[in-house]
Structure 1
């Protein structure tokens, strides 16, 4: 893969913030950067910090600033969607000595990719480049080798990275395209306009329904979509349970560590969530 020009580094997390972040995901401070350490951080993040869009239905702003993201994800023990989750995870990795770039991607809806900056993923450079992504809902449990063009089988399924253009790759899961990944590095501020659209437009699926989801210890998923609790086992077996308001609030506390005094109310009409959200 061609060498890329990396954006200049910015002031990162303090040692105290790093320790708090690692405590949030239940890990001690790792040793030097390595593929094994990166995989452990990635898997722990997916199992503790949920993919969620509750801020929209609660009327809270989504601010793409490392300080605001740390306050939300670590101090307040919330989750977020791709810009927030991968944006702050990049800061943690950099503070731990990893070389990280933010990459823009276009999530597929059927056979059509979405708009530029529709998704944010991470390139992590070690002896070889890796694709890390803790912000796409159902996806890989561990980082993927960015230079590998053959199948990569892991607990999340079989992934293949297919060249689309000189600076793009299509990321396929079990033969289905998930997103078209651009390979040019960006700054977090580059994602702000699309993030604003995702959180405000009635055409965005994020404004139509509330979701909160994380990976479970056994490799399945648990998702609260509106007031429907969905449990998916590692074998794909799925159960659903409709809850009342009190039950949904209790489920946020029990399964995601999120305490709310009211349920989020999406501003746009409800729509069926995309498969990666569950």
Structure 2
């Protein structure tokens, strides 16, 4: 991996030491720079869970991706920088409180003085790493997070009191997520196949382009604009997210 190119994509210098401060900077800059998006699904592009392919997409072509892509490549970067980082399988909580299947989400666990959760692939989630052994609530710009013991040694992560996902403790390889990634990209039951979406956090909110709707949230106030032409949509991808496309997803 060309670590210098990846760090340049994030706009950060190479950290001197793989510590918590460096992890915080890397996660915050990754979230601020690399969009959470599912555009490949709606452009007919294959999603390849291979480090070289992900590096080409996210760093060289300056695209984003969804959890398997973003956290898969981020974990590889962290390892190159000297962090003890592994992928973990997680089941995502559905709106009705039931759990999705194993490998529903790929999260990154980093072992430092204690285990940390560093997730750059779950959309609106913690801007900074979370202590996985914490017993108290953890404040973050995106809300208040709790990590709780779950059955069979798993860990539940809650955001503002709402369960988000349940993490297994066992490390996983990136290729173990391939079958579920394929399902997410092709099944009519997957929410990723229902329409293109691209999102980035801002200093005081978030900007999202969902189909032809540009949604800007600032200090909790939501403003929605419907874009009237393909060119407006392509311009929004370029100006808001730094993504150059030759056609609308």
Fold similarity call, TM over 0.5: yes
Structure 2: 5+ residue stretches without partners: none
3-state SS of 1:172 partner: strand
- Indicate conservation of the 8 Å contact 1:140/1:157, yes or no: yes
Name 2:220's counterpart in structure 1: 236
1:141 matched to 2:127? The reply is: yes
Runs of 4+ in 1 over 3 A off after TM superposition: none
Match of 2:53 among 55, 68, 71: 68
- Contact 1:82–1:136 under 8 Å retained in 2: yes
SS in 1 for 2:93: strand
| Count of paired positions | 247
Q: Tell me whether 65-74 or 156-165 shows the greater mean CA deviation.
A: 156-165
Cα deviation digits, residues 144-174 of structure 1 (max 9, x gap): 0010121111111000111111321111100
Counterpart of 1:248 (choices 212, 225, 233) is 233
Say which of 135, 156, 159 aligns to 2:145.
159
Deviations 1:17-66 (A, max 9, x none): 10000000111111111111100000000000000000010000000000
| Partner in structure 1 of residue 114 of structure 2 | 128
Partner of 1:204: 190
CA distance in 2, matches of 1:144, 1:236: 23
Secondary structure of 1:67 counterpart: helix
**Matching residue within 43, 63, 73 for 2:28:** 43
| 1:173 matched to 2:159 | yes
* Greater CA drift, 68-77 or 235-244: 235-244
Q: 2:82 — aligned with what?
A: 97
Q: Any unmatched runs of 5+ in structure 1?
A: 1-12, 265-278
* Match among 24, 30, 43 for residue 9 of structure 2: 24
> Once the 2 structures are TM-superposed, how far is the Cα of residue 219 of structure 1 from its aligned partner?
4.1
